[in-house]
Amino acid sequence: DLDLYYKMGIIDTGYTPDESNLGVDGHLNNMRTYQEYTAPLPYVTTTSCIGDWDNASNWVHGDVWDISNTTPESAIVQIKGNMDIDANKTTVGL
């Protein structure tokens, strides 16, 4: 049921092609700076993570994500180190 799909990585021209079957291309307005792709898909820990789940330095993009005990239930989490979890966590995948 995907109507339109725009990849947001092209900002120097403002033109963004529609990757869906409809082919309705778009134009970005007032977006002039590149932003790193940091969406938590999945939430990934660093390989050196150790200790508390809530420590932002244990996560690859912990400085931009809201790392807390309220991680969304829809989250997919990839643990690459030695993480301590001292509370129940509900996620789609671990």
The model's pLDDT over 19-66, given as tens digits with 9 standing for 90+, comes to 888 889 988 887 767 667 777 678 899 999 888 888 889 899 888 877
Give SS3 for 93.
strand
Is the distance from CB of 14 to CB of 26 less than 8 angstroms?
no
Look at residues 79, 37, 80, 84 and name the one whose alpha carbon lies nearest to residue 61. 37
Task: Provide the whole-model pTM.
Answer: 0.59
pLDDT at 48: 92
Residue type, 80: K
